[in-house]
Structure 1
Amino acid sequence: MIEVAAGPGTVEAEDLTASGLLAAIRSAREAENQAAAEQLDLAARWADLHPPESIHSAASFTVPGCEHEEPIAGEGTPLVAEFCIAELGTVLGISTVAAKKLIGHALELRHRLPRLWAQVHAGAMPAWRARAVAETTIHTNPVLTREAAGFVDAQVAAVAGRIGPAQLDRLVAETIKRYDLAVADPTQDPEDGYLSVDPRHVTIHDDDVHFAGTMRIEAEVDLADALDFERAVAHGAEAQKALGSDLPLDARRAKALGDLARTQTALDLAGPGADREDLPAAREVVIHAHFDASVSGDATVFGPTGRLENGRRLILLEQLQSWCGDTRTQVTVKPVIDLNVPLTAQGYAIPDQIREQIILRDRTCVFPHCPRPARGCDIDHVVPWDPDAEAEGRPQPGHTTTSNLAALCRFHHRVKTHSPWHYETTAPGVFEWTSPHGYRYRCDHTGTTEVPSDIPPGIPRPRRR
């Protein structure tokens, strides 16, 4: 049974008329917008509590890798001590990157887009619209001055934020030209200076792998290059059809793009008329896929689904077989590493086998809500290695062993080392973190769970030296 809030009590959705349901939905949306506006305000106030001056007492500018001032919004917004972002993200259950965006948008709106800020808090504009504008003004190239950002603010506020991405891009281009923000180019007409903002790019969205084993590519290229690319892809799709492919046109075009990626570099080197079968691979692309397997007699039987490290998604065995079916694909099968057998090294350095075991066990950075793949992380000693222990005749507190190692991305490695954040191993591959204000989180390869704290949250912990 669905219940809808209505004043001091609740009413069942089945008891509402159509008009009542519409009113309830609108009320829920207004409450959602109000909550989002309040979250922006609180994020900005959290930044106010952590200015650069808040870290000076820790001698942070003399210790390599220590906390520093973090510019996360445009010109004219205050700087923020970067480690405060991590704690805000964990409280909200989001990554540090997402928390950084939230604070950046809040500061950008409050200091450089005050009209939009006022409209958000007056309920005239949803927070998500204002944040989309802030994201654009923060990352514009060339950088918008505070005066130029104010012009964008006035134009967008006049239509209560009802502006699409294309319109916003045109408005920013007009602003850059109006305020002469583009870098002067003596070969260009000064009136066309805004054209020096080069929009060309090719973006591979490798953090968003579809369950079907596909990945999205986005590009902005020169007109001539785009037309050449279209002809090459269309020709490749037609060639596949002539060779008997029964795939749909869009799928054949996608495969043609892959063929271009694998052969174009080699074709350029080999010259015209080169035999394709004799061409080396253009570039090496490494995919890490993990499948469960069992032995039946003399045969190894793989499960139908596995785990793809690239994008942390499931992969079908059939997909992997099709990728490996190309004669130019080099397949490397590595020995199985038992994740339940502890491995130990005598010194501080971490051997490759132990590093690989930690990567496979942790899968991602073990800081709360961090999605960074473990293969690109540092391997950290949970209890630090003491380089002077042996010389001074003391037992080594931080052994290089599986139970004392964890994958941490570089930022969260610095957070752990140079701030009051603290973590410990509670079981193999299971870590319990305590934030500077006493919030506790349990992290393993399945994700992050908040756990009750013995000390009420809200009491700042001292900074560890």
Structure 2
Amino acid sequence: MFESNLEELDARATLASAAHLHEQRKRIDVALIEHALHFADLHPDPATIPGHPSPAPGGERGKVYGGHGCPGVAEFAPAEFGAVTGRGKVAAAHYIGQSLALRHRLPATWEQVRNGHATEWKARQVATACLGLTEDAAAIVDQRVAPILDTLTPLRVERIVRAAKWQADPEAARAEAEEKACARGVWPGPHR
């Protein structure tokens, strides 16, 4: 598949070949996300298909994998996509969800990835970090992250997401912070 006689390459040619492979991989990563999006589009939530009967018990339903604002997808579709891309059902559902979140919730970030100005796996990490956000908060993250995505550490992404929650919905962010604070602490238990 990757037949190459590296023995014949000097240092400069080896670096040029590695750079070429890296560029190919970036294009393939974007193409794979586009395939995931297209496959999701081909398998919409059955409830959204006009004239489609409501699901029978145990029948296929729709699930939203990418967060608020993303379309529903037929729940069995990720298993099929995963089978051909070397992912398990859960990992494929997660990948499709990240892809949908990029297209629907983080369009500026997705555009940076498509143009080759940002790394796809970092964009998918941001999509995962934004899953619990409202659409407004995700839009704030998108605006802040898109131009600087490849310079961000996971900790910085976490801080941007937290700040976006506070900016988009301060009351919900305050309630969440209070809930987390109540869960912290030392709780007495039986002695042994």
Give the TM-score range, shorter chain.
Answer: 0.7 to 0.9
- Any unmatched runs of 5+ in structure 1? 5-11, 185-191, 201-220, 229-263, 275-465
User: 1:128-277 residue pairs with structure 2 within 5 A?
Assistant: 128-138=121-131, 140=132, 144-180=133-169, 182-183=171-172, 192=174, 195-196=177-178, 198=180, 222=184, 225=186, 268=190, 271=191
Q: Specify the alignment match of 1:59 in structure 2.
A: 53
Q: 1:181 to 1:51 in 2, by over 3 A?
A: farther
Shift of 1:76: 1.1
Going by fraction, where is helix more abundant, 1 or 2? 2
Higher RCO (C-alpha under 8 Å, 6+ residues apart): 2
Hey, what's the Cα distance between the residues in 1 that align with 2:170 and 2:41?
30
Shift of 1:155: 1.0
Alignment check: 8 A CA contact 1:52 1:79 kept? yes
Taking structure 2 as the reference length, the TM-score comes to 0.86
User: 1:57-456 residue pairs with structure 2 within 5 A?
Assistant: 59-61=53-55, 63-138=56-131, 140=132, 144-180=133-169, 182-183=171-172, 192=174, 195-196=177-178, 198=180, 222=184, 225=186, 268=190, 271=191
Shift of 1:157: 1.0
Aligned to 2:93, the other structure's residue is in SS state helix
Aligned to 2:140, the other structure's residue is in SS state helix
- Any unmatched runs of 5+ in structure 2? none
- Provide Cα deviations, 1:397-433, integer angstroms capped at 9, x if missing partner: xxxxxxxxxxxxxxxxxxxxxxxxxxxxxxxxxxxxx
Give % identity. 34
Alignment check: 8 A CA contact 1:55 1:81 kept? no
Q: 1:96 to 1:158 in 2, by over 3 A?
A: same
Shift of 1:195: 2.2
Q: Say which one has the larger Rg.
A: 1
Aligned to 1:183, the other structure's residue is in SS state helix
Structure 2 residue 18 is the aligned partner of structure 1 residue 29 = no
Please give the root-mean-square deviation of Cα atoms over the aligned residues, in Å: 2.7
Q: 1:161 to 1:64 in 2, by over 3 A?
A: same
Q: 1:103 to 1:199 in 2, by over 3 A?
A: farther
Alignment check: 8 A CA contact 2:63 2:74 kept? yes
Query: How many matched pairs?
Result: 190
Hey, what's the Cα distance between the residues in 1 that align with 2:161 and 2:178?
13
Shift of 1:193: 5.2
Alignment check: 8 A CA contact 1:180 1:193 kept? no
Q: 1:150 to 1:199 in 2, by over 3 A?
A: farther
Alignment check: 8 A CA contact 1:51 1:81 kept? yes
Q: 1:172 to 1:121 in 2, by over 3 A?
A: same
Taking structure 1 as the reference length, the TM-score comes to 0.38
Going by fraction, where is strand more abundant, 1 or 2? 1
Alignment check: 8 A CA contact 1:182 1:193 kept? yes
